[in-house]
Structure 1
Amino acid sequence: MLKYTVKKYCSEGSKFNQIIMVVLMVLPVFSYGTAVGWLSPMGPKLMSEDTPAAKPVHPDVISWMASVPYLVGTPAVFLFGFIVDNFGRKKALMLTSLSMAVCWSLKIYSSETWALILARAIVGFGVSGSYVVTPLYIKEVSEDSIRGTLGSLVVLSQNLGNLLVYIAGEYLCYNTTLWLCLSVPLLHLLIFVIMPETPSYLLKSGKVEEARAALAWLRCRQQSDTAVDNELQALLLEMQQENSARFFEVLKILVSDRSTFRAFRITLTITLARELCGCLAVLHFASLIFSQASSSWVLTANQQATMLGVVQLVGSFTASSLVERIGRKPLLGATCLVSGAALCALSAWFWLRGAGAALPLVPVVALCLCIYCDAAGLQPVPFVIMTEMFSFQLRGTVTSIVIAFACALVSIELRVFQPLAASIGLHFVFGIFATVCLLSTVYIACCVPETKMRTTEEIYAELGGKGKGKWTENKKQKDCEASVTKL
């Protein structure tokens, strides 16, 4: 039996171990954040005459470098979904860090075009692993009372990674920045090996005593504690109600059950809003956008991009404090609305600039507001809602499908952003992003349920009306009496 010998420096029932584990758990997402932000300061440097490559890199290559991680990430999410279900959350997360370590090592090894694009393609495994495994892992190790706050750390860690590489790209040389980025996944691989697998997966694997030990450690309690036993019984009940479905069976459930299908449709729609709000394009091409937006500022384009990173970090802290306080739906709707208004102002500014009537402060304020809203609600809240709207049996498959959908959207968005901006103008591109945000605000207000502190049965009852999630109800009636007695 696996034993956790870490001493308790916290009170009985404390959340300390959960917090420590989640902080370590989001290091791969931090590493992915550095990969997202890296292209902003390094893209212009690679295209310049002072390039670290053998010759200046063509803008089309930079567009492919931005797009290819998400192109690879689209099928890779299903690979990670398979690994998560068959080999465990812990191994999948460590594989994520390994892929990021390979990415940075390859960039250190060579700055040739083939190496740059291949390294960026490997980032696709990083994004897939980060966003398939991490939200699932957090859901299965955290208590309901802090799940939303811990879930918001996923995006917070990505934003910290963005900020780190913005600063490093401005003040450190090319190779030093790469070595700094490489240190993060290597640190995770060294430390996370001592962390436990999730109790849910251990139960699924038939390792009841290991699950009890892991759960007791996470809750800072003795293994014989009644609270540990009760929670273990609840986990076993949930899985035994829904332990037989596979991928295609899950797809059938998603389509055939009315409440489940509505939850799936809502998840895809808010994912669409999250990815097409334009913030990821801004983060990848921040320096290029600022270089076009204003030339009269004292700050350089990279320094202005760093300012975006600071605003993004502040937004992430806002999400951590508000997601439990005001709820998922109000936070998501408000940030989507404000982001849409900011993008409208930005689109209008780029359009009016041609007539010489634009103020240089507008794009900086609008972009900062947009990035703040993205970090405060648009990015973290959809992940929290997704994990709370689906049961253990559906969660892994739904996460894989949604992340694949998101990666496909982003790969197209980043590949066409620069060509579209050059051909039809940034005002038109940002106008599209603004329209997506404003339409999504209406959808959130009308269709998205509040999931805070609610069970899947309660959420499905709201979604399905009289149906109330028939599949879930029938399974519960069949298995409820027998499941707990097997513990």
Structure 2
Amino acid sequence: MDPEKMARAMARWWQTINEKDDDPTATNPMLYGPLQGAKISKVNQYVATVILCLSAVAAGTGLAWTAPVLDQLNANSTLPATDEEASWIAGFLAIGAWVGAVPAGILAEQIGRKKTAIAIGLAYAIGWALTVIATNVYVLYVARFVIGIATGGSCVVTPMFISEYAETSIRGLLGTCFQLFLTIGILLVFVVGAVTTWVNLSWVCGVVPILFIIGMFFVPESPSWLVKRDRQNDATLALKWFWGKYCDANVAIQEIQNDLESSGGSGTLMDLFTNPTNRKGFTISVMLMFFQQFSGINAVIFFTVDIFKMAGSNLDPNFCSIIVGVVQVLMTFAAAALVERAGRKILLIQSSAVMGICLTALGIYFNLQSREKDVSSFGWIPLVSLVLFIISFSLGYGPIPWMMMGELLAPEVKGVASSFVVLFNWTSVFIVTKTFKMMVDGWGRDYTFWMFAVVMAVGTLYGFKAIFETKGKSNAQIQLMLSSK
């Protein structure tokens, strides 16, 4: 085919896609009214989200890396590690994420979302480079710590950035992409880690942040941040990129400006805790992260292979990990489709309820096993329970807390509030992953999973009592609901 004709055909195809995506009623969560019939294209919003969420893929690879690798770091390995050292290799990522969360929020407010995201990508690349060249566990500690810093930063900046350009009509879909791409990173590690060495796996993981950095050069800065910095001309150009050239950028910028002025305060830590509305949104966000992590999800992700070995399953542990990873990706994708239909609240309630049942079943299985009962014919129970656990987590407490964090926090305090929510999240990650094996050794596997089940029962009650539905609500409406008006 003639190259010139092909180019013209591609141009017509791209124009058609943009025209199909024009939505004259679409609004941004920062905007509290329709844009007077202006046409808005969604294409670049999807493109920007895919690029931004490559940082979530990088976070997923960092999280899951220990699952196939820890078994390889044995006495016969070129880099041997004891059980205690292995637990620290897993734990240092959470420590790094804890350290990186607050600076990421501060940087995002000072130098912008885009530059902070690029800096996070560089940190990922440095961490994986250190992993590849590591010759002892101490270098691995440093590498995992650096990757953790980048992971904590991603959890702050990516959901914040997406929430500032996503339209109300696709806010739920784009908001769940962070968790979706994180699960893709986890699955990537499970698949590659099952067929190659930990060094080759680390090379593969290191490619993701490089792609992320390259992609970020094509994404403009957040329009909201540019308006905060009185850069209206740049904000106009950014809006035209995100929403298409036919959007009414002047009206949009004025709406963003009005919103920032009406929120009051200077966006400091004091504003977060002295304002009752800000405090309530922050509290709900923290509680959602608490139930997300104390469901035991990262104990499952970090130690998937070990759990199947403890259960005495006849299935290959690496194969079981891949099954869990595939289910997690598919169900998180399903959550993206359901969240704007079913709503946030019902998905969270079903998530905690079903996870509690699955954890109870795991506890019963391990209790029978510890009492030397014959459970050989029930080796499928751990797999079924964990698959159902992952399904329910992926439909609720996986993606929705990250999305609701962007919805519940007022724009003026979003930077500092997101940092502390993520700080709490990763503190919880460290506690669960560092103490999981200690709890198993001290309490037994049965009581460990029953403890997580009790947390999920409390989470179900909390969902009924404290969480309100944000589906289809503008940012202004959500803030009024938080203030009980």
- Same fold per TM (> 0.5)? yes
Q: Which residue is 1:476 aligned to?
A: none
Counterpart check, 1:345 vs 2:369: no
Letter of the aligned partner of 2:466 in structure 1? C
Partner of 2:137: 113
Report the equivalent of 1:480. none
The equivalent of 2:399 in structure 1 is 380
Cα offsets for 1:4-40 (capped at 9, x unmatched): xxx8642253211100011000111101101111100
Task: Tell me if structure 1 keeps the 8 A contact 2:313–2:380.
Answer: no
Q: Tell me if structure 1 keeps the 8 A contact 2:100–2:148.
A: yes
1:264 shift after superposition:
2.1
What's the counterpart of residue 427 of structure 1?
446
Q: Does 1:245 align with 2:266?
A: yes
Whole-angstrom CA distance in 1 between matches of 2:140 and 2:78? 12
Deviation at 1:143, TM superposition (A): 0.6
Amino acid at match of 1:147: R
Q: Matches of 2:86 and 2:357 in 1, distance apart?
A: 29
The one-letter code of the counterpart of 1:51 is S
- CA-atom RMSD in angstroms: 1.6
Aligned equivalents of 2:327 and 2:122: distance in 1? 30
1:404-455 CA distance string (max 9 Å, x none): 1111111111111112212321111111111111110111111111111223
Any idea what SS the aligned residue of 1:393 has? Answer: coil
Q: Is the 8 Å Cα contact of residues 77 and 129 (structure 1) preserved in structure 2?
A: yes
CA distance in 1, matches of 2:264, 2:313: 60
Partner of 2:347: 331
Quick check: 1:94 aligned with 2:111?
Answer: no
Write the distance in 2 (CA, Å) between the matches of 1:73 and 1:195: 25
- Displacement, 1:180? 0.8
Structure 1 residue identity aligned to 2:220 = P
The alignment partner of 1:392 has SS state of: coil
Residue of structure 2 in register with 1:392 after alignment: 411
Deviation at 1:173, TM superposition (A): 2.5
Out of 149, 153, 157, the residue aligned to residue 177 of structure 2 is 153
- 1:20-68 CA distance string (max 9 Å, x none): 0110001111011011111000011113x44241xx3111111111112
Check the 8 A contact 1:44/1:288 in 2, yes or no.
Answer: no
Taking a change above 3 Å as real, the CA distance of residues 149 and 166 of structure 1, as seen in their structure-2 partners, is same
Amino acid of the structure 2 residue aligned with 1:441: T
Task: State the alpha-carbon separation in 2 of the partners of residues 441 and 334 from structure 1.
Answer: 8
SS in 2 for 1:448: coil
What does 1:10-25 align with in structure 2 at a 5 Å threshold? 10-11=18-19, 12=22, 13-25=40-52
Question: Hey, what does 2:257 align to over in structure 1?
Answer: 236
Find the counterpart in structure 2 of residue 139 from structure 1: 163
Q: Distance in 2 between matches of 1:264 and 1:233?
A: 27
Q: Determine the structure 2 residue equivalent to 1:62.
A: 86
Q: 2:291 aligns with which of 273, 278, 299?
A: 273
Normalising by structure 2, we get a TM-score of 0.89
Question: Using the alignment, how far apart are the partners of 1:125 and 1:152 within structure 2?
Answer: 22
Provide the residue aligned with 1:485 in structure 2.
Answer: none
Match for residue 356 of structure 1? 373
Give the letter for the 1:395 counterpart. Answer: K
Identity of aligned residues (%): 29
Partner amino acid, structure 2, of 1:293: A
Contact 1:350 1:427 in 2 (8 A): yes
Unaligned residue ranges in structure 2 (runs of 5+)? 1-10, 23-39
Tell me the matched-pair count: 449
Question: Does structure 2 retain, via aligned residues, the 8 Å contact 1:449–1:463?
Answer: no
Q: Which amino acid aligns with 1:161?
A: G
Could you say which residue in structure 2 is the equivalent of 1:453?
Answer: 472
Q: Secondary structure at the match of 2:132?
A: helix
Gaps of 5+ in 1: 1-6, 469-487
Q: Distance in 2 between matches of 1:76 and 1:191?
A: 22
Mapped contact 2:280–2:482 kept (Cα < 8 A): yes
3-state SS of 1:266 partner: helix
Q: How far off is 1:357 after superposition?
A: 4.2
CA–CA separation in structure 2 for the residues paired with 1:337 and 1:183: 38
